[in-house]
Chains A and B, each alone.
Chain A
């Protein structure tokens, strides 16, 4: 078990490093730099004193060779210091920490909704003996996955805010303001959970052990939930781990549509302004959340299925 954890943590660190490096290279490759971006974009921006721009570049270290910048930034990043944002001069870490709670709230609520709605749909669809209902329910997830989040958000706002006046259309205020954005973000996520769970539930219901359980006299509902669902939830759990990344990415769109503050908005603004330190911070921070969630998911497997640890140690030989 210990070896398993050490290996997973080492992999997580590797992913963080790679995320940092690749994002650094991509940003470095982009034309222009944050200082030019900040100096304004317009036909009248000719008044900017080149000496002043050079001084700013020097202040932020953008005038150093790429490799030197990379090593310096990496050295500081390891200690949790991502420098100051170029656009406002605030420390990157504090910008991210300020934005984090709102995004955690949003993605947490969305994940909860997604699990309840997606999981519920899968269970009902596989439980029902009504063919038409099953078909109807099973056709929902592909729809949920394929409609753009942006559009779902606008539809929900139009219906529940502008017409019915039930929920506010924008802002971070209170629980009512959370409903529509969380629902929007939950649609594609829940749909994927439903797809995976329904498929593995159907597989599990075909297995010998459910047959055995039925033969022993367990009721349909009991077989469905206690025996089949428990086994079928393993792949779904893996998907949930992956979906956390998607939720964070989705927050960029949802936070913009619903004018919420959070990591997504910070990301969008940082990229627009080519605020390299901030973008780097966001990428590493996002990777950190993603890696941490998946680490937790990995560690949960053995609890659901004791065979996993053994399998994972053996996996190297046949993977």
Chain B
């Protein structure tokens, strides 16, 4: 007999295969959708009509459908529609306007906020909106656990929430907290029914919550879809919405489609009506035909380089200023990011309230960068890299793969800085290591952004009195940042925020590079799908026809 060919596998083969799989997966995990989104105005044409289903594809599912606990845009798009907020924020002006609260008072010290609620508002379980329900919500938020950090941040330093009368609720803070008014307009502080509030954070995540919003959660299939149905009898929409009463659409289906190319093809071939996170690579395929691309810059701190001020090289203001001048922001925005992305013109994106245009301070000027480095004593060596006292001008930029644009953008930054004499290394780290890295100060320079539609985000990021990840020395910047948090007069607060931005840019405490832009693809039959102030979407006024 002939011997059988030796196809018998080693008993270890299976093991090796499995282990390899789990290790390789780490490298090809979800590409995510980067930080956050923003703007746009739907175009209305023809006669708006009620009815129909909007199918919207998103790239990911975080496994949670509680608006108070989710931070990913892909989920916010849907769950935002389930809850109403006390206030709303005008995406054009940044002004806070009534929604569930008819009006409010803030004391001069910005420590106490009193909201008078609209009457007749009900949750989809039939219960009524009262001051007690709002109190229950705000009392429960600090107990949400790790997923509720966004909400906890908005309410940090809260002393108590009290019921003044059945429709008046008062929130008191230990310290001035001017940002809280804007925080009440976010999905994160969306008001849930008393029954929902009393469930555990995990139950709220997996089963969803009851809100008073224009849509109700119909079905959630993890990793597959989130289906919402119109709430009939809805009559307490935000003062920014044009339609009164119920929403136009009967049903919203959010499908999870991780592959960007498949999302684009699905839209192009009419299998879906709208898609999230359109990157530069898919723009060409979507142009022309029955698709509109709609974009808005995310408010908040722009993508840029956060310096570790404890590192000797970066303590020198001239070196940091040289970095700011050496970066050609326009080239980065045009090469890597979706069409329409704007180069940074401040630490804040232009869609943030109280943004100040500092484009002149952020102009690309390699000659200036070189002369700054010269005057700081860094001389060019044989290989084009500068050195001082025998030490090379080397920096490592740490970055995290939470947006597909990070690596190509940083490769350009690396080249641009090399042109003026920096030796820049790029170090990729795990997304899950982001906060640990910042807390430990284990970086020279870190790449990132933060989305928030209130300028107080500057205090979170740069005040030496808070986490101070960048190890900044205390300075007059702290004074400006603390003062804006204690100022309720819009004009005065705006001045302080503007001053803070100038201090940040002129002292080169942070190197702003490019704004993050949210880009959606919409079928031409979708009308009035608008961005809210946080560059997420509003669907009450949206119709299909």
Contact = CB atoms under 8 A, between A and B. Distances in A.
Interface of A: 11, 14-15, 18-19, 22-23, 26-27, 30-49, 52-53, 56, 87-90, 154, 157-158, 161-163, 165, 168-172, 196, 199-200, 203, 207, 234-235, 238-239, 241-242, 245-246, 249, 252, 256-259, 261, 265-269, 271-274, 279, 282-283, 286-287, 290-291, 294, 307
Contacts of B268: 162
Tier of interface size on chain B? 35 or more
Given A32-B436, A48-B149, A259-B262, A19 B19 contact: yes
A36 B22 contact: no
Contact of B435 (A45, A49, A283): A45
Interface in B230-262: 255-259, 261-262
B485 interface: no
Contacts of B2: 203, 207
B284 interface: no
9 contacts: A32-B430, A39-B435, A45-B149, A154-B261, A170-B266, A196-B7, A258-B262, A267-B22, A269-B63
A86 B13 CA distance: 30
Nearest to A311: B4
Contacts of A249: 17-18, 21
Contact of B460 (A44, A252, A267): A44
Contacts of A170: 57, 255, 257, 262, 266, 271
Most buried by B among A42, A163, A266, A287: A42
A287 B266 contact: no
B50 interface: no
Contact of A235 (B5, B12, B258): B5
B47 interface: no
B156 A238 contact: no
B466 A46 contact: yes
Nearest to A40: B149
Contacts of A34: 432
Given A15-B14, A161-B269, A154 B262 contact: yes
Given A30-B26, A168-B271, A268-B30, 12 more contacts: A15-B11, A23-B19, A41-B435, A42-B434, A43-B446, A44-B153, A239-B7, A245-B17, A249-B18, A265-B223, A272-B30, A290-B14
Interface stretch (B181-189, B327-335, B448-456, B475-483): B448-456
A249 B26 CA distance: 14
B133 interface: no
B229 interface: no
A41 to B, nearest CB: 4
A40 B460 CA distance: 15
A135 B262 CA distance: 35
Given A15-B15, A41-B402, A279-B22, A36 B432 contact: yes
Interface of B: 1-2, 4-5, 7-9, 11-15, 17-19, 21-23, 25-26, 28-30, 35, 57, 61-64, 71, 145-147, 149-150, 152-153, 156, 202, 205-206, 221-224, 255-259, 261-262, 265-266, 268-269, 271, 301, 306, 400, 402, 430-436, 438-439, 446, 448-450, 452, 457, 460-461, 466-467, 469
Contacts of A52: 145-146
A169 B265 contact: yes
B146 A56 contact: yes
A26 B271 CA distance: 41
Contact of A90 (B206, B255, B261, B448): B206
Given A252-B25, A257-B259, A169 B14 contact: no
B452 A44 contact: yes
A278 to B, nearest CB: 10
Nearest to A319: B8
B301 A165 contact: no
A47 B466 CA distance: 9
A284 to B, nearest CB: 9
Nearest to B61: A269
B224 A261 contact: yes
B145 A56 contact: yes
Contacts of A272: 26, 29-30, 431
Contacts of A31: 430, 432-433, 436
Contacts of A163: 269
Contacts of A279: 22
B18 A271 contact: no
A35 B146 contact: yes
A44 B457 contact: yes
B22 A271 contact: yes
A162 B4 contact: no
Nearest to A293: B14
A269 B30 contact: yes
A267 B22 CA distance: 8
B11 A46 contact: no
Contacts of A171: 224, 255
A279 B432 CA distance: 16
Contact of B14 (A26, A38, A294): A294
A264 B369 CA distance: 50
Contact of B29 (A19, A90, A271): A271
Contacts of A245: 14, 17-18
A252 B28 CA distance: 10
Most buried by B among A18, A56, A163: A18
A249 B206 CA distance: 27
B265 A40 contact: no
A157 B265 contact: yes
Given A39-B149, A43-B450, A44-B460, A266 B223 contact: yes
Contacts of A256: 258-259
Q: Shortest 4 CB-CB distances between A and B: which pairs? A: A46-B467, A37-B432, A272-B29, A89-B202
A22 B17 CA distance: 12
Nearest to A168: B271
Most buried by B among A41, A199, A286: A41
